[in-house]
Structures are given as C-alpha cells and as structure tokens.
Amino acid sequence: MKKILLLLLIFVSGCTGVVAQQFDYGKIAPHPRLLLPAGGEEAIRKAIAEYPPLATVHQRIMELCDRTLTEPPVERIKEGKRLLAISRIALKRIYYLSYAYRMTGDRKYALRAEQEMLAVSRFTDWNPTHFLDVGEMVMALAIGYDWLYDSLQPDTRRVVREAIIAKGFDAAKNTRHAWFYTAKNNWNSVCNSGLAYGALALFEEIPEVSKGIIEKCMETNPKAMVGYGPDGGYPEGFGYWGYGTSFQVMLIAALESAFGTDNGLSQAPGFMESARFMQYMTAPGGDCFCFSDSPVEAECNMMMFWFAG
C-alpha cells in the first residue's frame, strides 16, 4: 500500500516483448477497482503509522484537501491552445479529495469532489485539439467515479458518465485529435492511460464500449514502450520521462488492480530498467543530463517508489 500512497503524490509535482492479450472481463474487480481496492485503506493507515515519511505524504494531501474545501471549482479557462492546467488541477483535487474521503469517512471531502466532478463534466468540451487535456480530465473523473461510487448521487453518476463518453471516448474517435494512438512518446502514455481509466470506471454501464477502449489501449500503448528499450534510455529526456512514465505507471497499476495483470506491459524491454537509467542521469548537485528538451534541474519523480517495489 506504500505504492498507492506514493502514486497519489505523483500529481504534486508495437513492441517486442509485449503481448497484448485479452483480459478476463468476467473477473474484473468491483468498485473501487482503480489502484486501491476496498479495505486497502487499513493497510495505508498501518503504513502511515509505521513509516514517518509516508505520514508526511498523507499530511500534505490532507492539508491540500482542506484548502480545496474553501476554493471554487475550476472553470474552463484556456492558456493559449491548452486547457491542460485546468485538467491537472481537477485531477489533483478529485484524486486527493477522494482519497481523503476514503481515509476519513468524512463526507465533506466526497461532496467537494462531487462538486468538482460536476463542474468539469459540464464544460462544453475538454479541448480535444490538445488531447493531453482530455486524457488527464478523463482520468480525474474516472478516479472520482470509481472511488466515490457508492457515495455519489445517481444523477451525478449519470452526468459524469455521459461526460466521459461524449467528451472523452467520442472525442477520441476523431482521427485528427487522436493521433496519439500512433505516437511513440508521452502523448501515447498519457492519453491512453486516461481513456483506459474511464473505460475501467464505467465498465458495468457500457461493457462493450469499455472493452473496445481497453483493447485499443493494449494494441497501441506498446508503441510508447519502444522508447525504453533496450536498456532504459528514454529519447525524450529526463523531464518527459517523468511525465510519460508517471502515466504509464498509473495505467499498469490500474490494470493490475482491476484484472490482476497488466498482460505484459511492464515487461517491455528497458521499461523497468529505465528508473535506474534516470538515477544515473542525475548528478549529486541535483542537476540532470538534459538532452532533448529536458530542463537542467532534476525533479523528484515519485514513480521511482513504484519501480523500487
């Protein structure tokens, strides 16, 4: 459960060896199925009590949630051609507030998450011309829908479900917007991960649509994994390794929690070795070897803890 708590903190800041097999959809886990199964909260509480750094992570999340209670929901305000900053705020808020509710049982966190979910669901769109914005927004709503499923009002579930379908799944049918399916970079990881989260969250309501999205993810996501081979080097540099790989880890972790397997994604050549490669790219002074369009300063990559096991 340490992995799950550390995956929460990520948002503070065609491939040889990968075989896309069908999942056993008849054995998909019940809600909540994304990352943290029912009852997993107790294991996190135990880890927090025994490991002070995790207690610090938990405290930071709770403090952010308490601040969010007094803030208004996000609005559809673009920066240039992007809505990505808004998607990221929504993802952090919904993810953390849902966590806070599951850890405390205090409905004020669930209600505030529901407010945020309804606000973004009612946007005219999630800016599909820059599909990263859509991918992160679908992930945000999927986590809230799954983790808060029993506490959400039926009408809220309907509004959120319809938004994910219309502004996420349907938007991905436009080939001008969905070029990420053929990409070999972070766009593939981010967008496929978000759509897969939506499909996993809505599986009972739209099983055939969800299966199609998950299978398309398993067919196309390995293209993004090619760049990790053969030894963990990553062509987009240190910075975009952190971005793309954080979503790749989120995808793998969700598939494992929902189905008990990622059907080989994590076994792509070089993927597991890439964390060590990034360690070697970081100098003692805190800077990194900044090839590609990476900044000089090395950021803390929380998914390193997932790789460490």
* pLDDT tens, residue by residue, 201-224: 999 999 999 999 999 999 999 999
pLDDT of residue 189: 98
**How much is the average pLDDT of 247-264?**
98
Judged against a pLDDT cut of 50, whether residue 68 lies above it is answered with yes
| Measured distance CA(168)–CA(170) in Å, rounded | 6
Would you say 68 and 112 are in contact if contact means Cβ atoms under 8 Å apart?
Answer: yes
| Measured distance CA(303)–CA(307) in Å, rounded | 7
Q: Is 201 exposed, middle or buried (0-12, 13-18, 19+ CB in 10 A)?
A: buried
Is residue 301 very low, low, confident or very high in pLDDT (cuts 50, 70, 90)? confident
pLDDT of residue 17: 44
| Measured distance CA(112)–CA(93) in Å, rounded | 9
Helix segments in the chain, DSSP class H: 2-8, 40-50, 52-68, 84-104, 107-121, 132-147, 154-163, 186-201, 207-220, 222-225, 237-259, 274-280, 304-308
At 170-203, the pLDDT tens digits run 999 999 999 999 999 999 999 999 999 999 999 9
pLDDT of residue 113: 99
pLDDT of residue 305: 87
pLDDT of residue 194: 99
Judged against a pLDDT cut of 80, whether residue 259 lies above it is answered with yes
At 7-42, the pLDDT tens digits run 666 555 434 444 456 899 999 999 999 999 999 999
| Measured distance CA(73)–CA(71) in Å, rounded | 7
**How much is the average pLDDT of 215-235?**
96
| Measured distance CA(176)–CA(171) in Å, rounded | 10
Q: What is the DSSP letter of 73?
A: P
| Measured distance CA(161)–CA(153) in Å, rounded | 12
Span of 1-5, 239-243, 259-263 with lowest mean pLDDT: 1-5
151 CB neighbour count, 10 Å cutoff:
17
Sign of CA dihedral 204, 266, 246, 66: positive
Average pLDDT, the chain: 93
SS3 282: strand
CA distances from 84 to 36, 40, 80, 143 (A): 26, 31, 10, 18
The arrangement of secondary structure in 2-13+15-308, i.e. its CATH architecture, is Alpha/alpha barrel (1.50)
